[in-house]
Amino acid sequence: MLLFTLPLLFAIVHSSANDVLELTDNDFSTRIKEHEYSLVMFYAPWCGHCKKLKPEFEKAASLLRSHDPSVTLAKVDCTEAGKETCNKFSVSGYPTLKIFKNGDLSKEYSGPREAAGIAKYMKGQVGPSARNLLTKEALEDFLKEADVAVIGFFDKDSKLKDQYLKVTDRLREKFRFGITHAPENLEEYKEQVVLFRPKHLQSKFEPSSVIYKGDILEGLDSFLKENAHGLVGHRTRDNAEDFSNPLVVAYYSVDYVKNPKGTNYWRNRIMKVAQSFAKDFNFAVSAKDDFQHELNEFGFDYVPTDKPIVLARSKDNKKYTMSDEFSIENFETFLSNLKEGNLEPYLKSEPIPESNDAPVKVAVAKNFDEIVTNNGKDTLIEFYAKWCGHCKKLAPIYDELGEKLANEDVAIVKMDATNNDVPAPYEVRGFPTIYWAPKDSKSSPVTYNGGRELDDFIKYIAKHATSELKGYDRSGNSKSKEEL
């Protein structure tokens, strides 16, 4: 008997991989036309990002397997059998994802890169933007799905129906929309749009559905964004951008698949307190394993408890941690102090250097105001990472720049942005990032995008310095006859 079951087991284990079509130059144009909607991943086998995406892509294919209308996921190897196809569709980086409809390129894929997000995004791309719910059973089945449901209840000749469909077309990638004209579905709601929370997120602390009462074209977008996640939303990697500051997040073992009861045990306690602060903060729960990078930003390399870790960001993005162990009482106290401004923000910082006499000053988070903001000088500041090759190449040039301008009314500063919080309004998205901050307008620094040789820096600083440099004219030429 075992001999007969093993092949079947093997097929089941590999089903997700088999859900993804492997296309080549020989069959792409013919096979892609067989599918009304397709998402194609153009990849290179050696590409690290492709290797990371591959299992998510395969899992998304299995999630979409039974969706109506069908969505096909396919892949093309751009280094071997799919070179011509990749060139045809102007693939210049890996992985590149594109959406096809009936074999023709429809649009670039701009959605998430993890399985659930890919599946949700593609479901929003296909078929009508609002599912037509013809019966009461169809409505009930629609409400059983795991995402927020938005449903328009309209008579067939309703003037509001067309307005509703215009909004659903615009927001189809964000929300799951339905529409119904069935008389049995119009008994409770008629000529109304209703947002329904998924069953696993329903709670006694807020209504399970919310009726929209404003102008559909003018206000429905804002209503949905404000109410979609409720009092305490389930924040995932897929929807994290939906949650804006001021934001309070409870991180713990959030898992609505394997442990919905345990997940809601803590969420309900958070909601009990959050309802009193709903006008002051946005709230969410997140799986700590999915957001370890955020925990690291607050100094948590390891979470030694199963209880929620509560972290917050103010409207101006300052960070706050609830240091006491989670309890309803401690959480309420934390929020009250946060609201009243009685808490010191958490600052990730290296120690302040014991000596800071070198021509290039070292800034850390704890002395940033002293070294940069309030130093009374024009300032050039480099945000770097110790592992960054470009930063290592720049280091001797930057040190020489500091020496050249040691006697000027200009500060040359560097800061390790991986070990220190970077204060607003500075933003670091790559290394090195360099800013010029004039002494009279430190609140409005400008990004330095010039060359990175010594002369490039000197010419820039000479031109933009508040007062002309002692050793250089405005063109960056040395005033010293000896140097001439």
Bridge-partner residues for 77, per DSSP? 43
What is the distance between the alpha carbons of residues 30 and 377, in angstroms, rounded to a whole number? Answer: 66
- Give me the catalytic one of 146, 194, 217, 388: 388
Torsion of CA 432, 437, 443, 444, to 10 degrees: -80
What is the distance between the alpha carbons of residues 396 and 92, in angstroms, rounded to a whole number? Answer: 35
Host H or E run for residue 429: none
Structure tokens of 180?
């119904």
What is the distance between the alpha carbons of residues 484 and 471, in angstroms, rounded to a whole number? Answer: 12
Structure tokens of 152?
């328009």
Non-local (6+) Cβ contacts of 359 within 8 A are: 399, 402, 403, 405, 406, 412
If 0-12 CB within 10 Å is exposed, 13-18 middle and 19+ buried, where does residue 154 land?
buried
To the query of whether residue 388 is one of the catalytic residues in this protein, the response is yes
Bridge-partner residues for 360, per DSSP? 412
Structure tokens of 80?
């071997």
- Give me the catalytic one of 284, 311, 391, 422: 391
The DSSP secondary-structure symbol of 328 reads H
Signed CA dihedral, 325, 327, 330, 332: sign only: positive
Asked if 278 and 335 touch (Cβ cutoff 8 Å), the reply is no
> Reduced to 3 DSSP states, what percent helix, strand and coil does the chain have, rounded to the nearest 5?
35, 20, 45
In 10 A of CB 93, how many CB atoms? 10
- Give me the catalytic one of 17, 24, 31, 47: 47
To the query of whether residue 78 is one of the catalytic residues in this protein, the response is no
Structure tokens of 77?
């190897």
What is the distance between the alpha carbons of residues 163 and 173, in angstroms, rounded to a whole number? Answer: 18
In 10 A of CB 255, how many CB atoms? 12
Asked if 63 and 115 touch (Cβ cutoff 8 Å), the reply is yes
Structure tokens of 303?
């979470």
Q: How far is CA 15 from CA 5, 27, 52, 65, 252, in A?
A: 15, 22, 19, 10, 32
Task: State the catalytic residues.
Answer: 47, 50, 388, 391
